[in-house]
Amino acid sequence: MAQTAAPVVQDEVAELDEVVVLARQSGAPMWTVTRGDTTLILVGSIRSIPRDVTWRPDALEQAAAKADLILLPQEGRASFSDLLRVIWRARTISLLPQGQTTANYLSPEYQARLEALMAGDRNQDWRRKSLLFLGLDLMQDKAGFSAGREGQDAIDVVRRSGRRARIDMRPVGIVRGDELVESLISAPQTVHVPCVERAIAAAEAGPEASRDRAMDWRAFRVPDVVNSPIEQALNVCWPWGDPEIAPQLHQQWAAAIETAMVSPGTTMGVAPVRLLAEEGGVLDSLVARGFAVVGPEWK
């Protein structure tokens, strides 16, 4: 029996090696964890890759098509009533409370830095804009972060490949629309102060901040990516910085990976690189549990 099974095992090992090689050739940082007949491939993704920063999404697409299961980031499920509530409370979400400006929330130091960044803007509406929206605008307008309007990222590539190859794909969790809307409406503006502070730092780094981050990502300089001004801002801005939503996002990824490590076959998970590589993140957790994690240095 051992003699007849050996070629099958060799074929499986060769196919796994091909998946890993292809994924590594893509230019996206990735890590592998193997235990028995279980292999987990974790791909670290970033949003807003400038179009002039080239990588090989085709190689990642080929690798994803050979996986048995693909784990994708959480999905938000909003109902029609959730959307109506957002529209109804649009002013609450987008503007500071009546009579207040950014100076009511930021320290004098950060307010002065913000004033310097916005000195060339004739429109002064930013002073009354909600801190969350202000932070996102700073990253987009001043730091070159334009999620959804740049080159394709690893999450998009893996999702498309899995769909074409009819691979079993699952989001690691669902976030209810009413919870998302409630967090946007009810969270006090003070919750978003860290977002604006980090966004100011990213804006001060200028449009090159986005390109530098993407170049570090492609070169597997993972600690530099995680510590980049943009990633630092994204980590404390909504939803990842929300005190109610963020723990749920982390717990869902932890549970999905726990399940993957006891399931036979090859699972590919694609997640924000900072979620994987941050202090106490997914990779640190796997190492703490005694798994050998193979891939680029992340700390």
Give residue 96's pLDDT: 94
pLDDT tens, 196-222?
999 999 999 998 989 999 999 999 999
pLDDT > 90: percent of the chain:
70
User: pTM for the whole thing?
Assistant: 0.88
Q: Which amino acid is at 144?
A: G
**Rounded mean pLDDT, 254-279:** 95
| pLDDT exceeds cutoff 80 at 235 | yes
**b/e code 115-142 from CB counts within 10 Å (16+ = b):** eebbeeeeeeebbbbbbbbbbbebbbbb
Q: What is the pLDDT of residues 95-131, one digit of tens each?
A: 999 999 999 999 999 999 999 999 988 889 999 999 9
In degrees to the nearest 10, what's the CA dihedral of 12, 18, 24, 29? Answer: -30
pLDDT at 52: 86
Q: Using the 8-state DSSP alphabet, how is residue 28 labeled?
A: S
Both tokens of 287, joined, read 């190492």
Q: What is the pLDDT of residue 148?
A: 53
Looking at the chain, how many residues does it have?
A: 299
Binning the chain into helix, strand and coil, the percentages to the nearest 5 are 55, 15, 30
